Amino acid sequence: MTSWYFSHLTLIQGMLISIPLALSVQIALRSGVFSFASIGFYGVGAYGTGILTMRGWPVLPAMLLMILISGLVAYLMSAPLIRLRGLYLGMVTFAFDLILTVVATNGGSLTGGALGLLGVPLGVGTGGLLAAAVVAIILVSQLERRSVGRALVGIKASEELVMSVGVDLRRRKRTVFAISAALGALSGSLYVSTFSTVSPTSAGFTLIITTLTMAVIGGTSSWIGAVIGTIIITWLPSLAATIGEYQHLVYGVVLVLVVMYAPEGVLGALRWLWHKLAPKVGAGRPRGGAPALAGGPPGGPPPDRGTAEKAEPVPADRVKG
């Protein structure tokens, strides 16, 4: 067991780092906000934490500062963006990510240029990564259970209906942007503090596609889907390593199959199987466990009272045997 753990340590750490990032995209898609801004804030968190720790800051304060700054900037930045919807919002946030990549590439000695930052002090181990992933999961799961989460589902279904019951739509969407950005910054801070390096390509197009695939394959209806998608996308490359150059073909086939036959992701498929295969407790019995009444099927309506009263009893001498 110990040898397996150390031989797969990089994958385990990468999976734990990716969970908050997948949650950042899932929470946006769940509310109908098609945004990739959290990927850009992943880069902000990674570079900001790396720069601060290389200048003597402790890791934890540097991470917390970048998470707070990212959440605040995203909340302010979302004011003009929430007027956009669907593909237009996705294109704007995608451009935001690319702009940050260009800034990091041309940042000179501050960002390390095209090579990025090297030799960032290590400050987070596997235990810290696990704790951060658990905190992110608890945050998102509690958010889904409360009125904020129910309002987000309503926003995706019908914005007009949500507004008609008095929900402040703009404030809810801006809150989603802030939480999503904070989770992205958390993931980036964990990455640079674990692997000691970050480059402009770390938060580029590949990461956008990978994170979106995690959310879609797992399912955007719950935080569980984001975790499932992260596990699948993290471990699938190692399982498909034996097929060499056909790895990308396998990824594409898996994604197409999920989108075509399980549009709600693996989580939706598991729920469907559960409802199909799980035994129905109490099926065929009336409520309360009472025996079924004569004259009708188990659990069905009782016989007509008037018919029962008119029925004549059978004489004892006519009863056979």
Give the tokens for residue 218. Answer: 């797992």
Q: What is the mean pLDDT of the segment spanning 271-283?
A: 69
Confidence label for 24 from pLDDT (cuts 50, 70 and 90): very high
Alpha-carbon distances of 204 from 85, 200, 231, 234, 251, rounded to whole Å: 23, 7, 21, 18, 19
Alpha-carbon distances of 229 from 7, 137, 226, 258, rounded to whole Å: 22, 14, 5, 11
Q: What is the mean pLDDT of the segment spanning 136-145?
A: 87
46: nearest Cα among 178, 192, 181: 192
Q: What is the mean pLDDT of the segment spanning 45-66?
A: 94
- Inform me whether the pLDDT recorded for 215 exceeds 90: no
- Inform me whether the pLDDT recorded for 76 exceeds 50: yes
pLDDT value at residue 243? 61
- Inform me whether the pLDDT recorded for 185 exceeds 90: yes
Q: What is the CATH T-level fold of the domain 10-276, as seen in this structure? A: ABC transporter involved in vitamin B12 uptake, BtuC (1.10.3470)
Q: Write out the H or E segment, with its range, that includes residue 222.
A: none
Lowest mean pLDDT across 100-104, 115-119, 255-259: 255-259
- Inform me whether the pLDDT recorded for 203 exceeds 60: yes
Higher-confidence residue: 271 or 147?
Answer: 271
Confidence label for 221 from pLDDT (cuts 50, 70 and 90): confident
Q: How large is the C-alpha radius of gyration of the chain? A: 27
In a 3-state reduction of DSSP, which class is residue 38? helix
Higher-confidence residue: 250 or 198?
Answer: 198
Confidence label for 1 from pLDDT (cuts 50, 70 and 90): low
pLDDT value at residue 15? 93
Residues of the chain with pLDDT > 90: what percent? 30
